[in-house]
Amino acid sequence: MGGIGRSVTRLEDPPLLRGQGRFAADIRFPGELHMRVVRSPIAHGRIEQIDIADALDCPGVVAVWTGADVAEIPPIDFRQMRIPGLGDYRQPILAQGMVRYVGEPVALVIAETPYQAEDAAELVFADIEELEPVMTAVQPLGEFAPGLTTEAGVVRKSYGDLAAAFEAAAHVFELEFAIGRHTGVPMETRGAIGFWNAEQERLEMHGASKVPHANRLAIAKMLDLPPEQLHLFEGHVGGGFGIRGEVYPEDVLVCLAALRLRRPVKWIEDRKEHLLAANHSRDQHHRIRAAVDAQGVVLGLEDEFFVDQGGYVRTHASTVTDLTAGMLPGPYHIPAFAAAGHIRLTNKTPAGTYRAPGRYEGTFVRERLMDAIADRLGIDRVEIRRRNLIPAEAIPFKRGLDALGTEVVYDAADFAGLLAKLEASVDLPALRESLAARRAAGEQVGLGLAYFVEKSGLGPFDDVILSIAATGRVEIVTGAASVGQGVETVMAQVAASVLGVAHTDCTVVHGQTDRIARGMGAFASRVTVMTGAAVSMAAETLKDRLRARAALLLQADATGLVFEGGLIRAGEASVPLGEAAAACAAEDGTPLLTAEASFTTDHMTYPYGVHLAVLRVDAETFGMVVERFVVAFDVGRSVNPMLVEGQIHGGAAQGIGGALFEEFIYSADGQPLSASFADYLLPTLNEVPMVEALVLEDAPSPINPLGVKGAGEGGITAAGAAIAAAVEDALQGRVSITRLPITPGRLRILHLN
């Protein structure tokens, strides 16, 4: 009946498959106006003046604003991981005197049609005095503003006695690694519609996603509105990946415009804007040192890394840097550790989180290091990992670090067990033999493998309001959000399991700030863990009441009652769930039987796994073909295995993209050279093999009632590391891969040298 563990099809899909989706651009209000943002064509400069006269004269134009028109609106604040010193680097909603990346909003045009807005926007002329841009995070510090350098902050984390580790070391490794600038590219670009609801005297923003409740508070504060006067509404969302749904300048601008003009104002991002304006990610440079004993066991790690933050520090503040440092040691014991992450401003599009933020990067660095140690000491690349893994007996394992403001405690894991299962499932010795045979026959083909630890289920809370109607229909109102990942289906399955109803009899509400007071939204693989736990608690509360009520109705012993098929049964006798619910509601004097629950936690839960890639390199073109991609992933408990696999497939595709294809390239003067899909190369079905998912449930989380761990990110985390290892193996040590993405042109140069 669609309970936990069943691969039921998604409740979300029927309207989407019928073309009845309501994405941001589908939302239309009568009399709506259209906003077009005028963006800086210059990477770094001082605005001398902005000429808007011609634009104002264009047909249909209602307003043209520049920075001066919004000078009283504060810059966009941080949503999480605020650390001292970052505040001065926040982004204004329209440039205030300075531009710091190509694509920065400098003005806006609001007109009756999108065509008129775009025509007029072309006539806004910003006279900008060009300044020298800073184009890498590793160059000497420059000046961000008078008295402020281009280093916004440094995140430091450590444990253990590092000096002792290096003293005891038989070998010391020093390596540098770089991860290219790329990001999540949802199929639906961003969009926001500001609407002044005169009837209710409130401002509304439609097209919200990811964190509507947090954004409601943030935008209300910026516009100096009481929060009750602003509501956010999430429709269908065509993918998020971390980048969509944060507060961006455009979200605030449509709200402000709707407030000032008292007309609906709509902004739909085009793809070129998206690649220039939505958060970039990754782009880190690491210098790592390892103290290693004679057997290849890592005694200590020291990592200094530089994060290319782009032009401003956006809502994520230090999140990516924090997660990189806090999660870097991964599944290995590593008794001593120190990391220093430098958040450096450059003149590129600002950066934020993207699926597995900090872990994609850190996993690449750590796993490449493991391979390098193995190769130099002549130890097998799998064996070196076995020697360093945290043993099952040491779990729960306190890492001695924090991440996202919580103490890192690996709550349940059998790292060696998962590795063994993967080896058995692909028959690793046989696979290696067959690849060796192909190499002997002249092919350049190899295998790479990388371990990762993910984090998920970030607290501190999630609330749920669950009600049952007399018809038996269950409504679950959550503070979660849906970015397309299947929230409705999964929450319905959790409730269905507890209440013994069909999951199709459950309706799930998410992303509506007028339906529930608080909500944390959807990020950090948190929803199934946090919202799922709250749903199960609320359902259990109602089940207790229904059981008592049904026992009276059926004249039966409460302990023997069975909830199934929408009925509460005592042997042959039964009462429909809805009828029992109605009886309870009548008792309460409410229309529906309702319970609220809140799940709170101070800790995250840590899923983990291994990626394995088989890859072929063409001898003439250096083109790389991923022949096989396997993800072994322990998610504690899989509410819907099909959806977990879907997450893995999508994640792996994106991981392959970052490893081999996707990169934002800039010219020396700061012009973006990858601002369309002709130049920013996303992998397609042709470049991604059928991903093989080995979903394990060996280590259920003890810190939430369902035992689940988040499954949203493990498909991507180790992809860069595994693919790099496979390329090296294919070329049998003739190259060493220290940088992503690995392009054919770069591989050719490595091979020549």
Partner 1 sequence: MKPAAFAYHRPESRAQALALLAEHGDEAKIISGGQSLVPAMNFRLARPPILIDINAIPGMDDIREEGGTLVIGARCRHAHFEKPVSSAPIGLLLSRVAANIAHTPIRSRGSFGGSLSHADPASEWCCVARGLEAELVAESTTGRRTIPAAAFFQTIFTTALRPDELLTEIRLPLFGPGWHCGFAEYARRAGDFALAMAVVACRVEGGVIREARVGLGGIASTPVTSPEAVAVLLGQAPSPALFLAAGQAGADATSPDGDIHASGEYRQDLVRAMIRRALTQAFA
| Residue 662 main-chain phi, psi, to 5 deg | -80, 130
Residue 557 has a CB neighbour count (10 Å cut-off) of 9
Closest approach of partner 1 to the CB of residue 276, in Å: 12
**How far is residue 751's CA from residue 157's CA, in Å, rounded to a whole number?**
37
Query: Measured from the CB atom, is 581 or 726 closer to partner 1?
Result: 726
Q: Tell me if 678 sits within 8 A of 431, measured CB to CB.
A: no
Binding mask 639-678 for partner 1 (x = CB under 8 A): ----------------------x---x-------xx-x-x
Of the candidate spans 25-33, 385-393, 424-432, 737-745, the one that interacts with partner 1 by CB under 8 A turns out to be: 737-745
Closest approach of partner 1 to the CB of residue 111, in Å: 11
Query: Measured from the CB atom, is 122 or 544 closer to partner 1?
Result: 122
Residue 486 has a CB neighbour count (10 Å cut-off) of 24
Closest approach of partner 1 to the CB of residue 255, in Å: 23
Query: Measured from the CB atom, is 302 or 308 closer to partner 1?
Result: 308
Query: Measured from the CB atom, is 280 or 549 closer to partner 1?
Result: 280
686 forms part of the interface with partner 1 (CB under 8 A): yes
Pick the closest to residue 284 from 356, 214, 226, 213 (CA basis): 356
| Residue 492 main-chain phi, psi, to 5 deg | -65, -40
Q: Where are the beta strands (DSSP E) in 269-367?
A: 281-292, 298-310, 336-345
Left (φ > 0), alpha (ψ -120 to 50) or beta: where does 274 sit?
Answer: alpha
Pick the closest to residue 459 from 524, 536, 402, 541 (CA basis): 524
Of the candidate spans 76-84, 329-337, 590-598, 684-692, the one that interacts with partner 1 by CB under 8 A turns out to be: 684-692
Select from 46, 262, 271, 518 the one that contacts partner 1 (CB under 8 A). 271
Of the candidate spans 287-295, 499-507, 714-722, 743-751, the one that interacts with partner 1 by CB under 8 A turns out to be: 743-751
CA distances from 219 to 15, 203, 208, 386, 549 (A): 31, 11, 12, 49, 45
| 3-state SS, residue 122 | coil
Closest approach of partner 1 to the CB of residue 441, in Å: 17
41 forms part of the interface with partner 1 (CB under 8 A): no
**How far is residue 418's CA from residue 367's CA, in Å, rounded to a whole number?**
17
CA distances from 493 to 486, 489, 529 (A): 11, 6, 13
Closest approach of partner 1 to the CB of residue 675, in Å: 10
Closest approach of partner 1 to the CB of residue 251, in Å: 20
Of the candidate spans 114-122, 435-443, 582-590, 704-712, the one that interacts with partner 1 by CB under 8 A turns out to be: 114-122
Dihedral Cα 111, 112, 113, 115, nearest 10 deg: -40
Instruction: Give the list of residues 6+ apart from residue 322 with CB closer than 8 angstroms, or none.
Output: 81, 155, 341, 358, 403, 404
272 forms part of the interface with partner 1 (CB under 8 A): yes
Query: Measured from the CB atom, is 119 or 454 closer to partner 1?
Result: 119
Query: What does the DSSP assignment read for 180-203?
Result: EEE----SSPPEEEEEEETTTTEE
CA distances from 407 to 160, 455, 470, 604 (A): 16, 12, 45, 8
Of the candidate spans 102-110, 149-157, 456-464, 742-750, the one that interacts with partner 1 by CB under 8 A turns out to be: 742-750
Pick the closest to residue 252 from 201, 280, 210, 215 (CA basis): 215
444 forms part of the interface with partner 1 (CB under 8 A): no
Query: Measured from the CB atom, is 15 or 623 closer to partner 1?
Result: 623
* Residues contacting partner 1: total by CB under 8 A: 27
Select from 9, 20, 684, 732 the one that contacts partner 1 (CB under 8 A). 684
Query: Measured from the CB atom, is 75 or 133 closer to partner 1?
Result: 133
Pick the closest to residue 363 from 329, 333, 314 (CA basis): 329
Of the candidate spans 267-275, 280-288, 318-326, 543-551, the one that interacts with partner 1 by CB under 8 A turns out to be: 267-275
679 forms part of the interface with partner 1 (CB under 8 A): yes
Closest approach of partner 1 to the CB of residue 13, in Å: 23
Of the candidate spans 118-126, 275-283, 466-474, 639-647, the one that interacts with partner 1 by CB under 8 A turns out to be: 118-126
> Residue 233 has which token pair?
């509404």
Footprint of partner 1 on residues 205-264 (CB under 8 A)?
none
Query: Measured from the CB atom, is 439 or 748 closer to partner 1?
Result: 748
CA distances from 300 to 173, 293, 328, 370 (A): 11, 10, 12, 13
198 forms part of the interface with partner 1 (CB under 8 A): no
380 forms part of the interface with partner 1 (CB under 8 A): no
Closest approach of partner 1 to the CB of residue 618, in Å: 8
Footprint of partner 1 on residues 594-633 (CB under 8 A)?
620-621, 623
Query: Measured from the CB atom, is 377 or 681 closer to partner 1?
Result: 681
744 forms part of the interface with partner 1 (CB under 8 A): yes
118 forms part of the interface with partner 1 (CB under 8 A): yes
Instruction: Give the list of residues 6+ apart from residue 199 with CB closer than 8 angstroms, or none.
Output: none
**How far is residue 496's CA from residue 565's CA, in Å, rounded to a whole number?**
10
Closest approach of partner 1 to the CB of residue 34, in Å: 10
| Residue 204 main-chain phi, psi, to 5 deg | -125, 140
57 forms part of the interface with partner 1 (CB under 8 A): no
Residue 673 has a CB neighbour count (10 Å cut-off) of 12
Query: Measured from the CB atom, is 296 or 683 closer to partner 1?
Result: 683
Q: Tell me if 301 sits within 8 A of 262, measured CB to CB.
A: no
Query: Measured from the CB atom, is 635 or 656 closer to partner 1?
Result: 656
Handedness of CA 114, 117, 123, 128 (dihedral sign): negative
Closest approach of partner 1 to the CB of residue 32, in Å: 16
Of the candidate spans 41-49, 117-125, 318-326, 506-514, the one that interacts with partner 1 by CB under 8 A turns out to be: 117-125
**How far is residue 575's CA from residue 569's CA, in Å, rounded to a whole number?**
7
Degrees, nearest 5: CA angle 254-318-712 = 80
267 forms part of the interface with partner 1 (CB under 8 A): no
Footprint of partner 1 on residues 461-500 (CB under 8 A)?
none
Select from 566, 683, 689, 707 the one that contacts partner 1 (CB under 8 A). 683
> Strands of 202-206's sheet, edge to edge?
61-66, 105-111, 33-39, 265-268, 191-197, 202-206, 230-233
Of the candidate spans 44-52, 269-277, 287-295, 513-521, the one that interacts with partner 1 by CB under 8 A turns out to be: 269-277
Query: Measured from the CB atom, is 172 or 665 closer to partner 1?
Result: 665
Using CB under 8 A, list all residues that contact partner 1.
Answer: 114-115, 118-119, 122, 270-272, 620-621, 623, 661, 665, 673-674, 676, 678-679, 681, 683-684, 686-687, 743-745, 748
